[in-house]
């Protein structure tokens, strides 16, 4: 089996913060993460499949980058994850939650079953993998 991975980078602002909680409650639950901070996110996008006999590629990288540009970069790069998107109003933008959103956005935009895995680095020492369940 072949898996091809392309990594991209973007920069976002965020805080772990639930609108339904007071400032004191957010700080108690999330500690320093409840304060506004930011990350250089590194995102690895992995697709699985058989290379096209004509091009020798599992996926056209130009197309993959266009999808990533539209679905990920345009939404999250140089944006505030809390204020500028609807994904983290009732759930905080932890790496787990953010990676789940990223996987879903890419999976819906790519051909069925092509996306195999994403890895999202919040820092070089902390990351999350979302892996497609085998059918």
* Residue 27 interacts with a second copy (CB under 8 A): yes or no: no
> Of 112, 117, 103, whose CA–CA distance to 71 is shortest?
103
* CB nearer to a second copy: pick between 72 and 92: 92
* Residue 20 interacts with a second copy (CB under 8 A): yes or no: no
Pair of tokens at residue 106: 């890419």
Contact string 49-88 vs a second copy (x = CB under 8 A) = --x-xxxxxx--x---------------xxxx--xx----
Cα separation, 24 vs 109, in Å, equals: 39
Cα separation, 28 vs 11, in Å, equals: 26
Pairing status of strand 37-49 against strand 79-80: unpaired
Nearest approach, Cβ of residue 13 and a second copy (Å): 4
Of residues 107-126, which lie at the interface with a second copy (CB under 8 A)? 123-126
* CB nearer to a second copy: pick between 80 and 114: 80
Using CB under 8 A, which of 75, 109, 114, 127 touches a second copy?
Answer: 127
Contacts (Cβ under 8 Å, ≥6 apart) of 83: none
Pairing status of strand 2-14 against strand 79-80: parallel
Paired residues of 86 in beta bridges: none
Nearest approach, Cβ of residue 17 and a second copy (Å): 11
What letter would DSSP give residue 90?
S
Binding site for a second copy (CB under 8 A): 1-9, 11-16, 29-30, 32-33, 35-40, 46, 51, 53-58, 61, 77-80, 83-84, 91-97, 99-100, 123-131, 133
């Amino acid at each position: 089996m072949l898996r091809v991975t392309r990594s991209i980078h973007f920069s976002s602002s965020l805080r772990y913060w639930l609108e339904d909680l007071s400032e004191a409650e957010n700080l108690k639950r999330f500690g320093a993460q409840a304060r506004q901070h930011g990350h250089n996110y590194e995102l690895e996008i992995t697709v699985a499949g058989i290379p096209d006999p004509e091009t020798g590629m599992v996926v056209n990288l130009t197309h993959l980058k266009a999808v990533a540009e539209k679905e990920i970069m345009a939404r999250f790069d140089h944006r505030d994850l809390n204020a500028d998107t609807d994904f983290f109003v009732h759930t905080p933008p932890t790496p787990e939650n953010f990676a789940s959103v990223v996987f879903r956005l890419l999976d819906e935009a790519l051909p069925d079953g092509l996306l195999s895995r994403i890895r999202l680095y919040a820092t070089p020492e902390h990351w999350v993998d979302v892996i497609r369940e085998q059918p």
